[in-house]
Structures are given as C-alpha cells and as structure tokens.
A = this chain, B = another copy of it.
C-alpha cells in the first residue's frame, strides 16, 4: 500500500515546484477550489514554481489570462512552459522559410509564427502553394473539418518530405465528469500510422519539456535537479517524465489517477512517484502567510 503524504510538507522540502495544469490546478470544471492558497503559500515562502503543460492550443499569455480570470493572479506568462513553446523553438531553429501548414484554430497558429515563416491552415493548401510548404504542425483538435482536412493532411505528407511536428502528445482530454475528447495527439498518431512516417512529438513525458523549464530556472539561480519536484496527475507523462529527468515527483489524485486504482496502476506500469498526495490544494488552516 502506498503512503499518502501532505502536500504542504513536500513543498517545504524543495526550492522549485513544477506543476502540471490539467488534473492538478484545474479540471473540466475550472480551477480547483482553494488552489489559490497553494500559490499564496508558495509566494509567501519564496518558492519558485512553473506550470509545465502539454498544451499547444494557446500562447503562454493566453494561458496565464485564463488563470487570472479564475482568480489565480500569481501565474504569469513567464511561469508557463508549454509543448507549444517547444514547437515554436523548433520552427525558429529548423525551418528557414516558406509555409508552415497547420491543423488547429487560427488562434493556436498565431504564437508559433516565426520570422520568415508564413502559417496557413491545411484547408488553404492547394496546387499553387504546396511546393512552398516546409513544415506541418498538429496544434489543436478544433478549428478544422476533420474528414476533409485530415485526408488533405495525409496527401500533403505523402507529397512533401518535410518535418511534421505534433505540438501536444496527449491522446484525449477530459470534457466533463464522464466524457473525454480526442486530442490532437490521438489524431496525429492515426495520421502517422496511415502514412508510415515518424513525426516529431513535443510534450511530456519527453525530456525536452523538462529541460526547457529547467533552463528557465537555471537562467537566474544555481538550482540543481534535486531541488525540484514535479507535481502531476498522470503516471505515464508527468511522473515517468519527471522521474526520468531526475526530479522527485508527486502524484496527486485529483485528475487521471483515482485513489481506488492507485496500487494497481503503479504495479502494472512500474512507474513509481516519490510521493502521493490527495491534492495540491493546501488546507485552509495549513497556511502561514502573514
């Protein structure tokens, strides 16, 4: 049986806390009630924190704004590391010019715009511009016609030998208490198997996400891996990825992993968090914010 730890006592042991977003800070229902107390405590204790999230549907600024709307004013854009940011870095470094075709909303394409590159939805690719397409990005499951544009995407990839980037590896995300939605990572996996090519995937559990965040921390302080703890709700992304990168990890039970399945899942996968907590929300009387 696994020991259940108190989240506040774990925070006290580390200098930097990395948080997954979905299932840890928020659910389909909005922010977790009381999660603002956790961030108030982090601020009061002078702890550093980052949100490390598989999300390419919006820019860090827009993600931060959504936290502010929910009353979590502490979280600013510079605290957010998303798989979308890795996608933008890749385009900056590896695609010199031409068109970046994408699947997703117009909004999701805005912030990956790079100097010299022109983003264009797959629906607007035709014989007149296909030769200028130098990369393809899977950004979001919304904003396009699945039947029409996914077939178009398959044929684009067959005709152009170009890098194909998946900006979020998740296969599904929760929509309501009982329903999920197919995520762009699931759609990309289908296209990958149809065309038989290997795409470039950004997102946890891949180390590159953790490195991006780790680099931000090290830019202004002499932190090492053992000073950092990663908090997540999903064994095979947050916990596997954080652990492999060398961070201690906290599994919280407010998202993908339920208390009743806990032991079964840990034994079945062999993925073992350093700590397990019911929630990342600190209890009301647990605060010392004076």
Q: Which residues of A contact B (CB under 8 A)?
A: 89-90, 93-94, 141, 145-147, 150-151, 154-155, 157-159, 161-164, 171-172, 178-182, 186-187, 189-191, 193-200, 206-208, 211, 225-226, 236, 240, 243-246, 248, 264, 266-272
Contacts and interface: CB of A to CB of B under 8 A. Distances in A.
Contacts of A191: 182
Contact of A193 (B171, B198, B207, B271): B171
Given A193-B171, A193-B189, A198 B155 contact: no
Contacts of A172: 154, 194
Given A189-B193, A194-B182, A208 B244 contact: yes
Contact of A155 (B94, B179, B267): B179
A178 B155 contact: yes
Given A154-B182, A225-B93, A246-B90, A161 B266 contact: yes
A135 B107 CA distance: 39
A190 B186 contact: yes
Contact of A180 (B141, B145, B154, B162): B154
A83 to B, nearest CB: 12
A272 to B, nearest CB: 6
Nearest to A240: B198
13 contacts: A146-B146, A146-B150, A154-B172, A161-B272, A162-B270, A171-B194, A180-B194, A182-B190, A198-B270, A200-B243, A207-B207, A208-B244, A208-B245
Given A154-B180, A269-B198, A93 B189 contact: no
A151 B193 contact: no
Nearest to A249: B94
Contacts of A161: 266-267, 270, 272
A151 B181 contact: yes
- 4 closest pairs, A vs B, by CB? A190-B190, A197-B270, A146-B146, A207-B208
Given A151-B181, A161-B270, A180-B194, 13 more contacts: A94-B246, A146-B146, A154-B182, A161-B266, A161-B267, A172-B194, A182-B194, A186-B194, A187-B190, A198-B236, A206-B206, A207-B208, A208-B244
